[in-house]
Structure 1
Amino acid sequence: LLEPITLSDKDEIPADAAGVAIVAPKYDLTPEEMAVMERYWNRPRSAFLVLLSPVETPPLIRSFLRANGVTPRRDRVIMVKGGQTVSTVRAAFTAGIEFNRDLAGQSTTFEGQSASLDVDNRDDLLTKQIFPVPLIQADGGYWGETKYAEGKNAFDDKEDHSAPLYLAAGITRGAENNDRFASESSRMLVMSNVDFLDPDRLYEENIDFLASSVNWMVGREALAGIGPRTLGTYKLPLLNSQNSFINRVNLFFLPAFVLLIASFVWSSRRA
């Protein structure tokens, strides 16, 4: 059950909260609210889902993410095709974390606007047992355009961001690879596109990825992976002549063919 919470009147995230989601924040948190979020992140088994609008990431939220190895860049992931600027991004899932194994290598599409994420495994993060991992990477031909607001659509290697361009990253804090302590680790997912949640822009692989991510964050790895597909019944329209031909095949030709094969087998055994 999803419930909105007001941080301004809380000192802590409730102990029974399975996780915290920050979706397309337009306004920044206050220092006191950010302190509440940081205390929660430093708790065992905390789970963060952060879906960012590429328009702008509020400064304190941006600093919090950068401190954990993932920095939202101020750019737009685009390419130019046929003289037109294309912001719809073709991408692929990586095999960075176990929950992504079923989707690894699978292509997908992100419509709308996307920014790129800088995923940095700094030495100081390793010392703190913080491990950021890229999970979705844009295909070749795209770049991170930093002057998108000016209508610029030509790559500049001094200002723009080149491949690899990441649209999603996972972060673990704690001894994730130690069976004794893995259940105490904290987990976070960061994505730089929110348009993929638009009902008119839904792709099954993106929904599978989000569902697997949430299950991974709350410690239900057994439920991660590609979900079952809905079975449907479809009618095949046939002309009367086609229907008659199929009936003749079923009633005459197939039995005759079986009889012919049986005759050959019988003859070969008598010979």
Structure 2
Amino acid sequence: MNKLKKLLKSNKLKYGTPAIVLTAIIVVIVIVLNVVLVFLDTVWPMTYDMTSNKLYEISDETKEYLKTLDTDVTITIVTPENKFNDTLVEIMKKYDSLSDHVTFRSLDIALNPQFAEKFKDETIYSNSIIIESDKRSKILNEYDLFLYITDETNTSGKNALKAEQKLTSSIMYVASDTIPKLAVISGHQEDEAARLESLAEYNSFIVEQVDLTKDELTDDYTMVVIVNPKKDFTPAELDKLDRYFDKGESGAMVFLSPAVPDLPNLEAYLREWGIAVNDDVVLEPRQFIMSQTNVVASFGDSKLFDSLANSTVMVPSSRSIERLFEKNDTHRTETILSSSRDSYSKSAEGDVTTNPGKVAGDPTGPFNLGVRSIKYLTNDQGQSINSAIYVIGSSGFCGADMIDASNLANIDALAIMLNSLKGQADLIYVAPKYYEDTLLSLNQSQVQTYFIAFVIAIPAVFMLIAFVVYHRRRHL
């Protein structure tokens, strides 16, 4: 009993009890705070993207589109969330949180046979992502949401994240009342455009081959592609093109490399739009990749490619293009791709590979490599329904090598052109976000702030606390 009384009156108990109580209170506060933060995070995700190019953030363009979305869209993965790619799950949840009309869920199709029955004619994998509305559906796989690159050891790895690009275009596809169609013109010994067709399908086009000698360009086509025809178009075919453009909100992408022979009818038709193609090849003494004919292009006076200002677009083996006028009563022309003022051109009939050097008499740049011509049109209500033609002096610009090159933005430029001609006001394009092996970028002011906070202030606080505790215990 005496020992107990002594213990109760001891300085250790007298000064130690508050410390124990304080410690217990702090532990309880930390636990409660942790529970509250976990709960809040489930309602309002509080992650912060510190990557330099905001890999995991949703763009303002997508956010604005989601605000206007009035069709219910469901994003379903058929694997438990904890077994799916964490980054993709987080991004899909952001879509859910940004719109009352988008729902993200994880569903076990083995336990939901009715759901599986809806897609019995489709192939669904464990990494599939199903995006659906009451209008239509689209099935993606995890690998669709990344760009991959193969290195010199033949090892393939993720090079860029294109989740937002793919998810947003898929939501627009399933929510849209109408789906745009693209006509790939055939019948003139055109080059194949398989990779460009795949890109169009990726951007929610329905792609069809059209032979103008027997087919019409019906009103549901919003885009035409012509790649390196070797035979000329007949007047009747050009009349069909004319009717197609005159309906409004119609576009065409025409690729004519130096190897294309003279096409008097087609060239005369393009001249009506203010565009003339020259029989030459453009070379660059400085702004090129591997070969002087692989021109690294500038973006001219058009604002079309403003979003690609810091990107590299290559125009291989291109002829030059003239703008016959800037503007008249019916048309307006713009340069969308150009070479530098140091560039020069040579006749397409010469051998530029063995004799690429500039000689006296070679025309000097800058040259137009890509031109857009816009035809002014209005509907009965006086609203603008302009049509447009893009003419590029290179067929390689839309080739697989250019589209698949991870260090080039040709795929982005083509997607922008495709989307700009769909005739829909709400179309957006989100470029892939490339992974970078870089350190966290901080300016000098931030470095000083973090140094003071983490190297001086926080250690000083702990040292002060330690000194107070040590001083008090010495006097117990």
* TM surpasses 0.5: yes
Alpha-carbon deviation of 1:78? 0.9
The one-letter code matched in structure 1 to 2:228 is A
The one-letter code matched in structure 1 to 2:402 is R
* 1:1-271 matches, cutoff 5 A: 1-10=206-215, 12-56=216-260, 58-80=263-285, 86-97=292-303, 99-103=304-308, 105-110=309-314, 112-121=316-325, 126-127=328-329, 129-146=330-347, 148-151=349-352, 153-155=356-358, 160-174=362-376, 180-182=382-384, 184-202=385-403, 203=405, 204-220=408-424, 222-229=426-433, 258-260=458-460, 262-263=462-463
RMSD: 3.4
For residues 76-104 of structure 1, the C-alpha deviation after alignment (integer angstroms, 9 at most, x for no partner) is 011357xx97211011223514x43312x
Identify which of structures 1 and 2 has the higher relative contact order when contacts are C-alpha pairs closer than 8 Å and 6+ apart: 1
SS in 1 for 2:225: strand
Alpha-carbon deviation of 1:142? 1.3
Aligned equivalents of 2:418, 2:346: Cα separation in 1: 30
Aligned equivalents of 1:89, 1:80: Cα separation in 2: 9
Alpha-carbon deviation of 1:68? 0.5
The one-letter code matched in structure 2 to 1:170 is R
> 2:67 corresponds to which residue?
none
Aligned-pair identity (%) = 21
TM-score (norm 2): 0.44
Q: Which has the larger radius of gyration?
A: 2
| Cα 1:51/1:150, change in 2 over 3 Å | closer
Alpha-carbon deviation of 1:16? 1.5
On the 8 A contact 1:45/1:186 being kept in 2, the answer is: yes
The one-letter code matched in structure 1 to 2:297 is A
For residues 50-74 of structure 1, the C-alpha deviation after alignment (integer angstroms, 9 at most, x for no partner) is 1222212522211111210111111
> 1:248 corresponds to which residue?
none
Aligned equivalents of 2:425, 2:226: Cα separation in 1: 22
Unaligned 5+ runs, structure 2: 1-205, 438-453, 468-476
On the 8 A contact 2:296/2:312 being kept in 1, the answer is: yes
Q: How many residues align?
A: 235
Unaligned 5+ runs, structure 1: 235-253
Aligned equivalents of 2:232, 2:464: Cα separation in 1: 82
For residues 93-119 of structure 1, the C-alpha deviation after alignment (integer angstroms, 9 at most, x for no partner) is 23514x43312x445242531111112
For residues 222-269 of structure 1, the C-alpha deviation after alignment (integer angstroms, 9 at most, x for no partner) is 43445242669x8xxxxxxxxxxxxxxxxxxx89994346437999xx
The one-letter code matched in structure 1 to 2:337 is I
